[in-house]
Every structure is written in structure tokens, then in C-alpha cells.
Structure 1
Amino acid sequence: MNSSMAPAKYQKPPQLPPKFTATTESLIADTKRLIDRSRGVQDAIVKDVSKEKASFESVLLPIARDDNKMAIESHIIGFYQAVSTDQALRDASTEAEKLLDDYGIESSMRQEVYDLVDAALQQKEELDPESKRLLEKEYKSYVRNGLGIPIGPKRDRFKEIKKRLSEISIVFQKNLNEEQGGLWFTLEELDGVPDDLVSSLKKGEGENEGKIWLTFKYPDLFPTLKYATNAETRKRVFIENENKCNQNVPLFKEAIMLRDEGARLLGYNNHAEFRIEDKMAKLPKTVDDFLGDLRTRLAPGGVKEIAKLLELKQADLKERGLPKETDNYFLWDHRYYDRLMLERDFSLDQQKIAEYFPLQTTIQGMLKIFEELFGLVFIEIVGEDRDALADGGKGSDIVWHKDVQVYSVWDDEGEGSGFVGYLYLDLFPRDGKYGHAANFNLQPGYIDENGKRRYPATALVCNFSKPTPKKPSLLKHDEVVTLFHELGHGIHDLVSRTIYSRFHGTNTVRDFVEAPSQMLENWCWTPSQLKSLSHHYSHLSPEYEAAYFESSGDTKKPAENIPHELIANIISTKHVNDALFNLRQLHFGMFDMTVHEPESHEALEKLDVSTTYNKLRKEISKIDGPEALDEPGKENFKWGNGQATFGHLIGGYDAGYYGYLSSQVYSADMFYTVFKADPMNGKEGRRYRHTVLEKGGSQEEMDTLEDFLGRKPSTEAFYKELGISK
């Protein structure tokens, strides 16, 4: 509901939302002020505390409190580069983030602070569990940042490596965000691609008269790979997309070389060993065994799926009177024939399904599910209520763009009616905006120095198609799943209750962080939930109703909720070509491990990364790339540089991409054990909220999981769900 209609107790949040009124100057000035304050806190500790007097309270608490205050501003400073429409503001945000990263490296390498943290650890004080964890993690992070390396050239080199890696990661992501590539196509070449998309594309002039410009952004790319009937078009789009950011190729290679060198300086055998040590898996061997076992179990399924898809491809070419190509099933065939199979064998009509999931009603439906499960209330803040919260400013000050929706989130009466935090939704593509779907923490929650709770703010940034006068934004089922998944991260971020911002919300280890959101995806495959989420767009307004009749030629209005047979169709397709989907994830995960656990530094230097990437994909997924058209024995795997478009491995998932798969093991286990029988069980929902989500990263994630399951986790449910249990 919106705020003006909300019960009085939900109208006035106890904490004002942040403002988004930064200028290029203020971003840099604020960043310098934060850095100066933080440096001052550390200087004071070094000056005033002797090793003998070092304790949690004298050394770690002031640093943790400074971290808390820093996060309240720094996350937003870095957020502008993902969402601002102003190039100068995005650049300043990137610049500010670089300053913060450099300062982070400098402060994480302060010998005299490390010595005091070490001394505090030696005190072996009785601390509450979260403070004890903070002390241990803080100590370990100094060691991992090179302070275990004796002072001298080796340590200086390690510091240089850290700095350069931070630069690489910023430039790599910026190249991806600012990527403006695309291809000119004639209308004929785009035959089959949905009209809505084709009519929205830029028209060519001059030498490109009569052509249209197709970019590599998801809303252009995926429908083209899914629907373009011309295989040559799909091939061009696919290969060019793999080559859209080739300036990242040398950066990727440099990053893996530097990581390897850094890990060896710290005394590890490789970067994977260094990274996995403090995750749930603990050892690279655990990860390699898990991925290897999964590959063995999935491989036969993948081969079967390809055989069926190839059959479909041959039949399709024959039907269209086209010559049979070769007996290959290509990478650029997959989205097309996967979709065709779903339509033919399962009569799954994505466009028809999308009519039942207009973006706004779907979001309302999702929020309702979270309200029922977790005991929450979402109040949309609109109009004058925005002005009231802008603290003397304008209502537009509390959002970064006019399209952004903002909600205040509360506990319902059963949970005590307290304030929870702010949720923002930024749903449509814009130039220069972050191109995928993600959840960004804007401000973490924590307990401040007066023992008062500070509340979080979190944002969902997505790229769904914009509404038009004839059609609202309509979501395909996979987009409904994506939205629910990202909203899951948002809820995790909102309901978390930790003492320190460092452990807030999704600040868990990487091989667990996806589990809570992946578990919630199950609700999008549950008939009753799908029905309650759906709302045919012709029921939204007389204008949309008229437009529907006009475009569909129907004379009768469809039912308001999605009919059972469509739901049954969706659910029957959950595991279609699932082995291939998971083998694709496995390719990313195994490639990630391959480049991060080389036999030696020299071996890594010789490694041809692009060849490794493409060859591994062929070996694992069994789908052909262009190399299949080469002479046998002379296959050239250098046709694309997918690793250069793969932000995850540079942006924090290095030696961690397997986390998507291992999180799925945990999420399947939680869902099957606790929710499958009754997905809307509010008692279990609240137990999940308090046992799992609330804890954030404030305790060992394995303990969190065991508390909730009442036992150690098992892979059984995951394999059962995939239909490959032994």
C-alpha cells in the first residue's frame, strides 16, 4: 500500500532516508573527509594505546564504529557509478571508489595497528560471540593482507600487487558498464525477433540506411539469440558478444598472474587455496571434488539433451526448406532451440505467460509473500510523503532517478511493529546504468555507540523493459525468478540484525551468500504462489484492455489470474535442458578454479586463457563453438574472449564462482526439509528469518545452516531436484 493510506503507526519512520543530491565535487570531498576521519581514528589508537593496554574495547571497537559510520556514506558514494544518468557523476563516483580502495589497502597494511590487534587477540578476553568473531576476522585479514610477510621488498611487492589488482577491477567493470558496441542488421536478418524489440531499436542513416542497431545489452541480446530464425545472425551476435570487451583480455591475464604471485608471497600454493580457506568449503580439494562429482553425474544428461536438441534443429531446418548444415549443435543454437523445444514440446508461450506478469502487480505480489512469510509490512512512499521525509528538501532528493520507487519496511504487529529499513526499486535500463540485475546495500544496519539500532537501506537495480501506453512492462517467467531472487538479497539485507556493519545482511561468505535467495526462487515454481503473483495486464486499466483487444484480436478478456494449464506448463519445464544449464555453470566454476590453481607460476604465464576458456566450455558442456568448423586436429579455440566479459571473476567471485552451485545445495536442502510441504508456513518463515537471515555473517555460516536444518547439510535434495540422485 502507499504511505498516505497506511495505518498511522507506519507513517513516520524513526530514521530519515539518505539523500541522493551529490555533485561531482561533493563525492570527492566527502570521500576525502571519510578517509581523513578514519585515518584519524587509527592514528589516535596507535598514539594512545600501548601493546600492554590493547583490548577489544581500546583497539577494535573504535575501528568497528568508524567502519559503521564510513559504510553509511561510502556505499552510496560508490553507488552513483552504477545508476547515475550523469557521466561526470559516474566518473567521480569511480574516482571516489578508487580513493576508498587505495585507503582501504593502506589502512589494511598498517603495521602498528596490526601489532595492537595481535596484542588484543593475545588477551583472550571473554567477549560476546560476534565481537570475538570480529577480532579474529580482523586479525586474519591483516595477515591475509600481507602483514605476516616480513617488512622489506617482499611486503612492498605484495602491497603493489594489491593496489594494481584494485585498479584492474575498477577499470574492468567500467569497461563492461560503458561498453557501447553493437551490430547493424537488416530487418530481414532479424526475422523472428519480437516486434516490440525491433521497433524500439535505433534506425540507421547514410550507409546504414534501412538497417537497425542491435546492442549487446541483455534486453537486445537475449531475445535475438532466442528468436532470430537466421542462424548466421545468431552466430554473429554470439561471437561478437564474446568479443565486445577485448580491452579486458590483458587485464584478466594480468589479474590472475598477480593473484598467483600474491598468494605465493603469503605462503599459499595458489590463489584458490588462499581464497577458499575462509569460506565454507575451506579447501580447494573440497571444491574440485564437488565440481568433479557434479560433472560426472550431469555429463550423461547433457549428452542426451544435446541429441534431442540436434534432432529438433534438423527437423526445424527441414521444415523451413533449409539445407541440413552439419551434425553440430552450436553455442549460438542453444537459446534458440531451447526456446523452440519449450514452445513445441511443452507449448510454453513465453510472450503469453508474460501477459500475466506485469511488473508492478508482480512486485506487489512478491512483497505480499514476504509480508506473510516473514511478518513484514511494505509501505510505498509517494508524493507528499516523500517531501516529508526529505528533511526540508524536495521529495526527489531521496531517490537518484525519477523512476525509482521507495518503500519503508516495518515489522507487522506480531513481530512488534518496529521499523525495519528502506527498500528501493530501480527497474528500467538507462544509458550508463549497471546492466544486470543486482542488489546493492546503500546503508548497513548496526548498533551504534549509544546502543541504538541504526536501520539499513537497500536497492534493487534491474533492467526490465519499460512500460508503453499499449503495454505495461511484462515479465517472462525467468525474469519473475530473477526479480524474486534479487528481492531475496534485499530482504536478507533488510531483516539482518547484527551489532557490527561488517557482518550485516549479505556480508556472509561467498559460498553461502546466494543460498537464501536461491531458496526463495522455489516460490516461483509453486502453483499457488504463481497464481497469486499473476494479474493479466488487460485487467489493469481500460487503456490496456483496449490495447490488448487490438493487438491480440481476441474478443473475450482473459481471466485475471494465470490459468492452471499455463502454470502446469511452466512447472513441467523447470528441468528441461537442466543438465546443460548446470554444465554451463560448471564451466564457469571449473574455468575459475583452473586459472586460480595452476601447477606453477610459470605454467600460468604460458596459459592461453581464451583457448582454455573455450576449450573447457566445449569439454564440459559438449556444445560446439566455431572451432568445430575447422579441420580436425587444427581447431582454433581463439575465436572469442568470454573471460573478458565475465565481471564475476574480477569482481569478487574469484575462486568462488562454485559458490552459486554449492549455495544451491544448501538452498535445496533448506527448501525440501522445511518449506516444500507448506511454502506459506508463516511459523517456519519467521523461524527462517530469525535463524538464518537475521544472523548475516555474524557467526559461522555452517552453524547458521545446522541450526536451521537441525543437522549437517546434505547434497541429497539438490541431486534429487536435478533428477540425478544415486
Structure 2
Amino acid sequence: MAPAQYQKPPQAPPVFTATPESLISDTFRLIAQSKKIQDDIVKSVTPENATFENVILPRARDDNEMSLESHIIGFYQAVSTDQKLRDASSDAEKEMDDFGIESAMRDDVFNLVAAVLKKNEKLDPESRRLLEKDHKGYVRYGLGVPPGPKRDRFKEIKKRLSEISIKFQKTLNEENGGLWFTEKELDGVPKDLVSGLKKGEGDNEGKVWLTFKYPDLFPTLKYAKNPTLRKNLFVANENKCNANIQLFKETIVLRDEAARILGYNNHAEFRIEDKMAKTPKTVDDFLNDLRSRLAPGGLSEKKALYDLKKTDLGSNGLSQYDDGNYYLWDHRYYDRLMLEKDFSLDQEKIAEYFPLDSTIRGMLHIFEQIFGMVFVELVGADRDAVSPTGEGDDIVWHKDVQVFSVWDDEGEGSGFVGYLYLDLFPRDGKYGHAANFNLSPGYIDHNGKRRYPATALVCNFSKPSPKKPSLLKHDEVVTLFHELGHGIHDLVSRTTYSRFHGTNTVRDFVEAPSQMLENWCWTPSQLKSLSKHYSYVDPQFAEEWAKTSGTSTKPSETIPDDIIESIIKTKHVNDALFNLRQLHFGIFDMTVHEPKTHEDVVNLDASALYNKLRKDISKIDGPEMEGEKEDYSWGHGQATFGHLIGGYDAGYYGYLSSQVYSTDMFFSVFKPDPMNPKEGRRYRHTVLEKGGSQEEMQTLEDFLGRKPSTEAFYKELGLQ
């Protein structure tokens, strides 16, 4: 039972009781309400009497209230086990997007917004920002283009791009492919994984089904000794969503056409204009400078890994697999082997100290200490008590989902903060990566009352079994901490308007707060506090550990110092190759979105470009090196690249540029004492609470006390 002071949150959590029919009817109801508000404004207001209060504020409040339902309506397609519900969610999102496009292209409303801007009323800073962003939004939706064929074509493009985005992501979410292998072929892969795979029947008798889901894919690429198996799995994974190939191509062609209609030279110029970087040149210069700095280290790391491969194949009688190349399907395997051989880093041993449940509790405890928060898990009667329906099952969308009420501690005023949901295991039809989804934003309503947010982490970690809990590799611990960082950003944000809530910042800043928090996963004291050997979690787990380990000596309860030391030492091992891989994504993104002419993007072979750039930038070989003539048409990785369709277009560089800011913040403020509560709370109030309510550069400067610097970033990468 939750402590008494936490049993009655002032706001109920959302419910997840929708049907396919209700999703559609609710969508049309929301659209009708919003359209009426816009129509009423146009009927009752003229440019002469237009003000912030009678033109901007009613629509902002409608946006606030609409988002409470619309986010959840669109969320079902990422998490529901019901195909019909997912389909209805996708259909509803398309209706919402189409309505959004229609609304964004209303001349009558735009004329009133322009009149308000021209009057230059005295407004608070966030309202001023809302007005300016509102006005700019109409211009970016083509209302600077005279009515006629060009504007009609722009609208047509926007609607088609919305359709493509929904269809592309649906294909990714519902991807259910894999390959059949014999257990002998899977030699080296952890037995726990293999034993949990689906067993074959009929023609596949004696085989197991290995999916492309991360908990199957990554460990197999890391541990499978058979190079042919790793190659077949890697190449098949690069071709798992080939229905998206044409959709990706159509997207980049349409984006370029739309940008040129608006008077931009390309889509990248259009997209980056309102980000921190401002121009594609700034981005290209940053990426190319980083590429030239990282390339020598990447080649050196590749040589060391190839030498390890050569020795390994020779000692195992597999020299026929050594043709002088170091392949993409070699990398996870030999990177892992190098860490084991040179740094005594055993990822399976490390994972024993990070059972998912206790690791989450440890992470939440860290956030409680540094940010002044309290997390209360809602189970059993507590769920029933907070549910608007009285049924606790109604406040989650799946039985595996955990939900927490989140509060300020006494030092922060003991107030309510919001709700946090954790959906951590893979299942059919579910979003396949790790991400944070806002379910309902925070804002100030028309009565001046605070509306509290709800946020969800959707991940895909291995499921627990009766004999062993879900265990996290160290990189999965980092991923979980990163996504929880987004969740905290979403929870503690305090903005007037939902438009600026939480992670609604520019894309080349949004990753910085979460990337900054990743540093806690590389700090000895925090690793120790997060850890708990799984044999201490449950007597049954202890019995199983004793049986499989072959020793009666109990392991230490927390992770030993020598293992922590090994983890810390490996932070930058093969770091150049890792960052070159990120550069491949970023440079590919920029290349497809800044063609010199429209004909160039029409004639572009995106698959060949993706694979050629990967070879040139990451320095690692693909199947193109196996034949007599280089052929880059072997895979279609861009068809699985959801980021470039889902909002990171001409923005993937943000993962790297955000690291500049995140590293600067950590090394300047937190490195001496990561658990400093005074600095943690200052960070919460100065950075996280602001969301996108002010210029992100201003947020950074307020926290750092100066302009951000690249010095810590390059120093951390060993490039300075």
C-alpha cells in the first residue's frame, strides 16, 4: 500500500479502454470541436480587433485539451496487441494529421495571427514565443505562397507525407520476420536465449525461430561463432522491411519538392532553419570536421579488430573465412571478444548484477536524490483507487506495464508531478526500439490550474523466466537510463502551454538532457548503487544460480570493484568506430535532404548511397567486398530507419551535436559530484522545467553561466 500522503493524487491517470470504434468516433469529435473553435474565431474577430487573447489563446487552450486524448489515440498503434485497435489508431492519426494540415493552411486564421503579431502586444516571454512560433508555422505550411496550383500541390504533398509516415512506422512496428536455425548453428549464443526460442515443426523440425527483435538479434550477432550465420542474420535484418524502400524514396523526393515550393534550396535548409544550428552548412561543417578527426582512430581500431579476427579464425580452424576484410557482421562479435580478452569484460557476468526490476528501482532512487522526486509504484488496490473507473487494469494497456505516481519530495514542496509508465518487454505488433512517449502533456488550464503529465517508456528487453529475471547488459542499462531521462524531462517540465512541454524542444537539443544523464552509468559509485546480483532477488533465482554456476560460494551482492573498473576502462574502446557509425547515419540523412537539384534526388539510389556511405565513413566492409565487383545494392537499411521518417529528418545530426552540450554540462557541473542535490535541483529548474518555452541556447547559457563549448566533447573523445 502506498504511504498515506501519496494515496490520493490530485489528478487521475489516463485510461486505456478504447475500442477501434471509439478511437475513430473520438477523433472526429476532437476534430469537430477544434474546427468549431477556429470557425468561431474567424466569425467573431477582425484584423482590427484581433488580440492574443481572442485569437491565439483559444486555439492554444484547444491544443492543450485536445492533446490529452490525441496522444493516447495515436499511442495504441505502438503498443496494442489488438491488430484492429492498432489499425484504428493509425487511421485516427491520419485523420488528425490531415486536419492539422487543413488547419495550418487556413488563410482566414493566418490573417488574424499576422494582425496580432503586428500589434506587438506586451506579453509574457512564453506567450510571445507561442505567438511567433504560431505565425512562423503558417508560413512554413505554405501560406507565404500565393493561392493557386503551387499551394495546392504543397498541401497535397503534406497529406501524402503524413500517409507515408504512418504506413512506414506501422510496417516497422508489425515486422515479425526472422530465420530458422539449428541449435548447432547457434553455437556460442547464450543458452538462456536459445532455450526460449520458438521450436520448429514439420520442415523446421529440430530448428528454432530467431526473430529480428533486439533481444534476439544483438546477442546472436555478439556471440554466434559461425560467421556465415552472423552474415545471413545481419543481411536479412537489413532487408526486413523492404516494403518501406519505395516509401522512403517517395518521402525524400516529396520533401525536396515541398521545400522548393516554399523557396528553400532543399529540405535540409527548410528543416534546420528553426533549429539551434540554423543552417545546413553549420551541420555539414560539424559532421565533416568530426569525420576527419575520427577517421584515423577508426582505421586503427579496425586494424586491431581485424588482427583479433585473423588470430581467432586461425586458432579455431576457420581460416577459410579470412579474406582480409573486416565485415559488418564481424563487428559486434569481435568488439565483444576484444573486451573480454583485453579488459576481462564478461557481459554475461555483468548482466547478472543488473536484474531489470532492481536496476529500475536504483535508477529511480538516483533521480529521487538529485532532482527531489518520489516514485510510488501503483499495484493492486492502489491502482484501483486511482483509476477513474475503479478498475486498476483500465489504467494500463497491457498486463506487463508498470505505473508510478510521481511526487516532489518535501524539499521541493511535496506536490504531485505526474504519472510514469514502463512497458519493457517485446511482443507482436509493439514498437521495436526504445523510446519515450508523452501520453498527456502538462500545462496551465483556462482556470489557472496545473494539468499534470503522463509519460511512457516503451522498450524491448529480454523477458524474465521462472528461473531467472530479465538481466541487462551494461549498454542496456545505459539505454534505460537515457530513456528514463526523457521521461523525467517530460514529467518535471512546467510550461504554460502544452506546445512547449517537456521534450518539445528543437531536435538538435532534445537528446542533450538524456545524454547528460548517461554519464551516471559510467560512474563507479552509481554503478555500485544500481547493482544487485540476481541471486539475492529471489530464493528460486538463488537456487538456479547455484545450480548453473557450479559453486556453493555466493557472489557479492553488489557488483565487485574490479568489474566496475573494467567497465569504466572500456568506455572509449572502439569509440571512434561507434561514432563513425553515428556519423554515417547523420551524413546519409543530410545527403538525401540537400541535393543540388530536384532531379538529383529523383534519380538517387538511396540503398546504394546508404551502403556506400557506410563503407566510406564507418570503415567497415559489407557484402559489397565479397564479389569481384563492388555492389552496394545488397541491403536497404534506410527502409528500417524510422528516425528519418518520424521527425529526425535533416536532424539526426542532433544525436552528435547534443553530445557537445551534454558533455559540456556534465563535465562543467556534475563530474566532481554527480549526486550533488543542489546542482541536480538547479538543473531540474533551469533546464528540464523550461521544456521548449524559451530559446534552447538561452537555457544552456543560463545553466552553464556562459556559451556552450566543444572542448569537453572533443577531450572526452580523445580528439583534443
Task: State the TM bucket, normalised to the shorter chain.
Answer: over 0.9
Question: 1:124 and 2:133 equivalent?
Answer: no
Among 558, 563, 567, the alignment partner of 1:566 is 563
- 1:603-618 counterparts in 2 under 5 A? 603-618=600-615
- 1:503-542 counterparts in 2 under 5 A? 503-542=500-539
What is the letter of the counterpart of residue 681 of structure 1?
A: N
Q: Which residue of 2 aligns with 1:683?
A: 678
Deviation at 1:391, TM superposition (A): 2.7
Among 26, 31, 35, the alignment partner of 1:35 is 31
Deviation at 1:5, TM superposition (A): 4.1
- TM superposition score normalised by structure 1: 0.98
Q: Which residue of 2 aligns with 1:180?
A: 176
Q: Which residue of 2 aligns with 1:406?
A: 403
What is the letter of the counterpart of residue 163 of structure 1?
A: K
Question: 1:264 and 2:271 equivalent?
Answer: no
Among 95, 99, 103, the alignment partner of 1:99 is 95
Among 75, 83, 89, the alignment partner of 1:87 is 83
Question: 1:418 and 2:415 equivalent?
Answer: yes
Among 694, 699, 718, the alignment partner of 1:699 is 694
Q: Which residue of 1 aligns with 2:60?
A: 64
Distance in 1 of aligned mates of 2:205 and 2:5: 60
What is the letter of the counterpart of residue 707 of structure 2?
A: K
Deviation at 1:551, TM superposition (A): 1.0
What whole-Å deviation, never above 9, does each CA across 1:320-349 have from its counterpart, x for those lacking one?
011252110001100110011011111111
Deviation at 1:630, TM superposition (A): 2.1
What is the letter of the counterpart of residue 698 of structure 1?
A: S
Distance in 2 of aligned mates of 1:378 and 1:216: 34
Of 236-245 and 501-510, more deviation after overlay is shown by 236-245
What is the letter of the counterpart of residue 256 of structure 2?
A: D
Among 667, 671, 681, the alignment partner of 1:672 is 667
Distance in 2 of aligned mates of 1:441 and 1:338: 35
Distance in 2 of aligned mates of 1:165 and 1:391: 37
What is the letter of the counterpart of residue 590 of structure 1?
A: I
Distance in 1 of aligned mates of 2:19 and 2:132: 39
Secondary structure, aligned partner of 1:189: coil
Do the aligned partners of 2:230 and 2:329 also contact (CA within 8 Å) in 1?
yes
Q: Which residue of 2 aligns with 1:171?
A: 167
Question: 1:489 and 2:486 equivalent?
Answer: yes
Distance in 2 of aligned mates of 1:109 and 1:277: 20
Question: 1:223 and 2:211 equivalent?
Answer: no
What whole-Å deviation, never above 9, does each CA across 1:145-199 have from its counterpart, x for those lacking one?
1111100000000000000000011111111111121111122211111111111
Q: Which residue of 2 aligns with 1:623?
A: 620
Question: 1:112 and 2:108 equivalent?
Answer: yes
Distance in 2 of aligned mates of 1:276 and 1:313: 42
Among 353, 358, 363, the alignment partner of 1:361 is 358
Q: Which residue of 2 aligns with 1:650?
A: 645
Distance in 1 of aligned mates of 2:201 and 2:409: 57
Distance in 2 of aligned mates of 1:272 and 1:690: 33
Q: Tell me, which stretches of 5 or more residues in structure 2 are unaligned?
A: none
Do the aligned partners of 2:15 and 2:388 also contact (CA within 8 Å) in 1?
no
What is the letter of the counterpart of residue 551 of structure 2?
A: D
What whole-Å deviation, never above 9, does each CA across 1:386-405 have from its counterpart, x for those lacking one?
11111343111111111111
- 1:266-345 counterparts in 2 under 5 A? 266-324=262-320, 325-345=322-342
Secondary structure, aligned partner of 2:420: strand
Among 155, 161, 164, the alignment partner of 1:159 is 155
Question: 1:384 and 2:381 equivalent?
Answer: yes
Question: 1:581 and 2:551 equivalent?
Answer: no
Among 573, 595, 605, the alignment partner of 2:592 is 595
What is the letter of the counterpart of residue 595 of structure 1?
A: V
Question: 1:202 and 2:202 equivalent?
Answer: no
> Aligned pair in 2 of structure 1 residues 388, 5: CA closer, same or farther (>3 Å)?
closer
Secondary structure, aligned partner of 1:460: strand
Among 688, 713, 721, the alignment partner of 2:716 is 721
Of 613-622 and 206-215, more deviation after overlay is shown by 206-215
Distance in 2 of aligned mates of 1:193 and 1:411: 44
Distance in 2 of aligned mates of 1:568 and 1:361: 21
What is the letter of the counterpart of residue 44 of structure 1?
A: D
What whole-Å deviation, never above 9, does each CA across 1:412-448 have from its counterpart, x for those lacking one?
0011001000011111111111111111000000000
Q: Which residue of 1 aligns with 2:458?
A: 461
Do the aligned partners of 2:306 and 2:326 also contact (CA within 8 Å) in 1?
yes
What is the letter of the counterpart of residue 438 of structure 1?
A: A
What is the letter of the counterpart of residue 683 of structure 1?
A: K
Distance in 2 of aligned mates of 1:115 and 1:249: 40
Question: 1:640 and 2:625 equivalent?
Answer: no
What is the letter of the counterpart of residue 498 of structure 2?
A: S
Distance in 2 of aligned mates of 1:407 and 1:465: 22
Distance in 2 of aligned mates of 1:436 and 1:264: 33
What is the letter of the counterpart of residue 373 of structure 1?
A: I
Superposition misfits of 4+ residues, deviation over 6 angstroms: none
Deviation at 1:209, TM superposition (A): 1.5
Q: Provide the alpha-carbon RMSD of the alignment.
A: 0.8
Deviation at 1:266, TM superposition (A): 0.2
Do the aligned partners of 2:353 and 2:533 also contact (CA within 8 Å) in 1?
yes
Secondary structure, aligned partner of 2:243: helix
What whole-Å deviation, never above 9, does each CA across 1:628-663 have from its counterpart, x for those lacking one?
1222xx311111111111111111100000000000
Deviation at 1:606, TM superposition (A): 1.5
Deviation at 1:290, TM superposition (A): 0.3
Among 407, 413, 428, the alignment partner of 1:431 is 428
Deviation at 1:592, TM superposition (A): 0.3
Among 138, 142, 145, the alignment partner of 1:142 is 138
Deviation at 1:224, TM superposition (A): 1.1
Distance in 2 of aligned mates of 1:58 and 1:114: 13
What is the letter of the counterpart of residue 464 of structure 2?
A: P
Secondary structure, aligned partner of 1:458: strand
Do the aligned partners of 2:377 and 2:405 also contact (CA within 8 Å) in 1?
yes
- TM superposition score normalised by structure 2: 0.99
Deviation at 1:619, TM superposition (A): 0.6
Distance in 1 of aligned mates of 2:62 and 2:635: 45
Do the aligned partners of 2:424 and 2:459 also contact (CA within 8 Å) in 1?
yes
Question: 1:238 and 2:231 equivalent?
Answer: no
Do the aligned partners of 2:213 and 2:426 also contact (CA within 8 Å) in 1?
no
Q: Which residue of 2 aligns with 1:472?
A: 469
Of 461-470 and 274-283, more deviation after overlay is shown by 461-470
Distance in 1 of aligned mates of 2:88 and 2:300: 51
Distance in 2 of aligned mates of 1:285 and 1:656: 13
Q: Which residue of 2 aligns with 1:18?
A: 14
What is the letter of the counterpart of residue 713 of structure 2?
A: F
- 1:241-252 counterparts in 2 under 5 A? 241-252=237-248
What is the letter of the counterpart of residue 300 of structure 1?
A: P
Give the length in aligned residue pairs.
Answer: 719
Q: Which residue of 1 aligns with 2:499?
A: 502
Do the aligned partners of 2:512 and 2:658 also contact (CA within 8 Å) in 1?
yes
Deviation at 1:217, TM superposition (A): 1.1
Distance in 2 of aligned mates of 1:253 and 1:172: 12
Deviation at 1:665, TM superposition (A): 0.5
Secondary structure, aligned partner of 1:246: coil
Q: Which residue of 1 aligns with 2:655?
A: 660
